[in-house]
Structure 1
Amino acid sequence: MSIAVTHHLNFRGEARAALEFYKSVFGGDIAIVTYKDAHNVQVPAEADQVMWGQVAARNGFRVMAYDVPSRQPWEPGKNAFFVSVRGDSADEITGLWEKLALGATVVVPLAKSGWSPLYGMLKDRFGITWVLDVAVEAKAG
């Protein structure tokens, strides 16, 4: 079993441009899932925005990003990132979740999602937002 920790950057409508920029700097492959791709469009104007995106390079560079939906509060520089913890197994992620959840506020309960066998989000007792999931193969695109 192994886990990987990745910076998960938050934008409002600029995630695709940011990911393309980071790819131009660090190289690697880019993978993007839009709200439309995930069948999760709540505001039609946001359908092509990034629900999940990633740049991963062979040199070890990896960053994830998404566009915060307009229905959620967001200001540049505030809540600018999440800490993403990806594991190989549901047992591993569940164990980490249970420990991080002590004194935390659950934002999205740990459960199956459309893109992962197990996904959840919480804000720990120190105010840090963590995203935990079981990693699946990302397709470049």
Structure 2
Amino acid sequence: MSVHAVTHLNFRGDARAALTFYQSVFGGDTALVTYQDAGAVHDPSAANQIMWGQVNAGNGFRVMAYDVPAHLPFHRGENSFFVSVRGEAADEIARYWEKLTEDATIVQPLGPAQWAPLYGMLRDRFGVTWVLDVATPYEAS
């Protein structure tokens, strides 16, 4: 089993441009899933914004990003990142989740999601937002 902690950057409409830029700097592959790709369009004007994106380079560089939906608060510089913990085993992710929940605010309870067997988000007692999930392969269309 393995787990990886990855910086997850948050944007308001700039995730695609940012990930494209980071890929041009560090190399590697870019994966992009729009809200439309995921069937999660709440605002038609944001259908092509990034619900989940990643740059993964062979040199070890990895970053994730998304466009914060308009109905959620976003203040550039205040909540510009999450720490994403992705693992291969549900029991391992659940153990980390249980420990992180001590004195935390649960944003999204750990449970099945459309894109992962387990996904959850919380803000720990230090104000850091954590996203935990079980990684699954994504086939881009």
Is 1:119 the counterpart of 2:119 in the alignment?
yes
Runs of 4+ in 1 over 2 A off after TM superposition: 138-141
Secondary structure (helix, strand or coil) at the match of 1:118 reads: strand
Pairs within 5 Å for 1:50-129: 50-129=50-129
What is the CA deviation profile of residues 48-95 of structure 1, one whole-angstrom value per residue up to 9, with x for unaligned ones?
000000000000000000000010111111111000000110000000
What's the counterpart of residue 22 of structure 2? 22
How far 1:136 sits from its partner (Å)?
A: 1.2
Distance 1:138 1:15 in 2: 18
Contact 1:113 1:119 in 2 (8 A): yes
- Structure 1: unaligned runs, 5 residues or longer: none
How far 1:138 sits from its partner (Å)?
A: 3.4
- Tell me the TM-score normalised to structure 2 length: 0.97
Secondary structure (helix, strand or coil) at the match of 2:84 reads: strand
How far 1:137 sits from its partner (Å)?
A: 1.8
What's the counterpart of residue 13 of structure 1? 13
- Structure 2: unaligned runs, 5 residues or longer: none
Distance 2:56 2:71 in 1: 29
Matched residue count: 141
Once the two structures are aligned, what percentage of the paired residues are identical?
A: 64
Distance 2:138 2:57 in 1: 13
- Tell me the TM-score normalised to structure 1 length: 0.97
Distance 2:9 2:138 in 1: 17
Contact 2:33 2:140 in 1 (8 A): no
What's the counterpart of residue 138 of structure 1? 138
Q: Quote the RMSD (CA, aligned, Å).
A: 1.0
What's the counterpart of residue 35 of structure 1? 35
Distance 1:28 1:37 in 2: 22
For residue 132 of structure 2, what is the amino acid of its counterpart? L
How far 1:140 sits from its partner (Å)?
A: 5.6
